[in-house]
Amino acid sequence: MSTKIDRNMTFHQILQRDPRVASILGQFNLGCVGCMGAMNETLEQGAMAHGIDVEEILTELNKLFAD
């Protein structure tokens, strides 16, 4: 299974990949850990709802998994 995070993954899926993900999301003011929408909302949906560039978030999240 690829560790790369993509825009179609739910926040729940992303948060399960690595505990450091919560910190990255927090840098973008996304408090996804306690959000009920985290189970079903995709990264792209959440970014759009908060007016955040999803590509910027993806870049930061995927740095966690860079070789």
pLDDT for residue 19? 87
3 vs 42 pLDDT, higher one = 42
- Measure the CA–CA gap between 23 and 60, rounded to whole angstroms: 11
The Cα–Cα gap between 66 and 37 comes to 28
Where along the chain do its domains lie? Answer: 11-63
| Predicted confidence band of residue 2 (pLDDT cuts 50, 70, 90) | low
Give the CA dihedral 38, 1, 8, 23, nearest 10 degrees: 50
What are the tens digits of pLDDT across the range 5-58?
999 999 989 989 988 999 999 999 887 666 666 778 999 998 998 899 999 999
Q: What is the CATH number of domain 11-63?
A: 1.10.3910.10
pLDDT computed for residue 52 by the predictor? 93
What is the reported pTM?
0.83
